[in-house]
Amino acid sequence: MKTLILTIGLCISSFSYSNFEIDKPYISLSGSGYVEAYPDYAEISISISKLSKSLQASKQHVDEVSLAVLNSLSQFNISHEDINASTIYAAPKYKWHEGEQIYLGEQVGRNITITLRDLNYYSPLINSLLKNRISELEHIDYKFSNITQLRKDALEIAIQNIQEKAKVIAKQFNKSISTIQKISEQQNHRERQHLAMSLDSPMGKSNSLFIINKQKIHNTIYAVFLIGE
């Protein structure tokens, strides 16, 4: 589905456009367009951490949860090449209270990024991660195998949009478009979803259905059109 979004800015004077001086009548416009598509795969980032008085106890917890997560991934057709597990980090943790530094314990953690190429396993994988006592499901990056074409489609819509707007606006002032003096592109698509779920979440205690909706890939064009008679 292709959709047009119209954003109009009108100027007929002299101004500086990114250090480019224009001393003729002009129209400054922006045009935006987007396409919608279902992602082909996703990158899922999780964190596993533990705070306790003992460094050994914290590390043991992180090791156990990490092993449970990694062992569970094969059932979702996830290969070793699609798993990126960071090294374990450890540091003492403190807090300040009434000007005094209070020792809280030893914080141990690690981050794991999983590339899920078969999205039919999306909901079962999320439920499995939560049940395996991960600390946080940080974010999900939705990916497209044809992202270059999708960006191109959004760009074509934005170009068509801005051309039509320029003609309409110029006609309303009994003018015509002479030429394009300046044009720039801004890609503004978002494929990341922040879920911030943890074991304490109600969704971490029972199976839940997670649905992937169509994602929007945006593109915006900015242009300066010179006005003719």
Q: Which residues contact 96 (CB under 8 A, 6 or more apart)?
A: 102
The mean of the pLDDT values for the chain is 85
Class of domain 2-38+147-189+218-228: alpha beta
> How confident is the model over 134-148, as pLDDT tens digits?
999 999 999 999 999
pTM to 2 decimals? 0.75
**Percentage of the chain modeled with pLDDT above 90:** 66
pLDDT over threshold 80, residue 11:
no
Class of domain 41-143: alpha beta
Annotate 159-228 with DSSP letters as a single string: HHHHHHHHHHHHHHTT-EEEEEEEEEEEE----EE---B-TTSGGGSS-----PPPEEEEEEEEEEEEEE
Confidence band, pLDDT 50/70/90 cuts, at residue 13: very low
Beta bridge partners of 109: 49, 89
Distances (CA, A) of 145 to 124, 125, 187, 197, 198: 22, 21, 17, 27, 30
> How confident is the model over 174-227, as pLDDT tens digits?
888 888 888 888 876 555 554 444 444 444 455 778 889 999 999 999 999 998
* Domain range summary for the chain, segments of one domain joined by +: 2-38+147-189+218-228, 41-143
